Amino acid sequence: MSTVQSTSRRKAPVERAAEIARTAREIALVEGLSAITLRGVASRIGVTPALVSHYQPSMDVLVAATFGAIVAAEIGEVAEELAPCETSVATLQALINTLLGPERSAVTAVWLDAWSLGRRHASLAAEVGVQMDAWQAFLSGLLTTGCARGEFRTADPDAVAWQLLAIIDGLNAHAIVRYGDAKRLRGLVRTVAEHELGLPSGALGPADGSVL
């Protein structure tokens, strides 16, 4: 019997499956989606690759599920963070601040991995689409609420949501490879959002990207 087999206690199938999923998320956030392999997951858990394969016969499916779980969790975290905001303007300001802050860099890196690896993996590409739609719906809902309250003015909240997400994603992609400073460039996103939503200049914060 191998050392790996003997040092890992037997676990119920549900417990083992959850452990594999949790370990895959940990690997993705530290080493990237490409590091999620049979050997990589098995080594962290202390089991054989064959055991991981028994629960997750397709690494492509595990990678896609891992990406989806990480991004869905982030949306939940951001929604909770924004909940105390009393106005739509304050909510959008807080959203821009958090999405362009360094605290989200680990998830940003996972997004970049997914966009790249998704070119060759259909299951991951499909999950990227699902999560992009989820983020767009989240932001579009925020903008639609702001319009209903009379805080924003736009005929197409859906389009503005896509526009803002594209800019935020681009700035974060630059920052993750140390090209530019996404935090300093918050002002760019604020300026575009103010223009598209009929807000006065400075309504979402200083143009220099600082946070009040």
CA distance 196 to 190: 10
Task: Write the CB contacts of 211 (distance below 8 Å, at least 6 apart in sequence).
Answer: 97, 186, 205
**Whole-prediction pTM:** 0.86
Q: Where are the domains of the chain?
A: 1-57, 58-212
CA distance 174 to 99: 14
Instruction: Give pLDDT tens digits for 106-143.
Output: 999 999 999 999 999 999 999 999 999 999 999 999 99
DSSP one-letter string for 133-147: HHHHHHHHHHHHHHH
1-57, CATH topology level: Arc Repressor Mutant, subunit A (1.10.10)
Check if CATH label 1.10.357.10 holds for domain 58-212: yes
Helix pair 38-45, 13-31: axis angle to 10 deg: 110
Instruction: Give pLDDT tens digits for 163-174.
Output: 999 999 998 888
Say what the pLDDT of residue 9 is.
Answer: 64
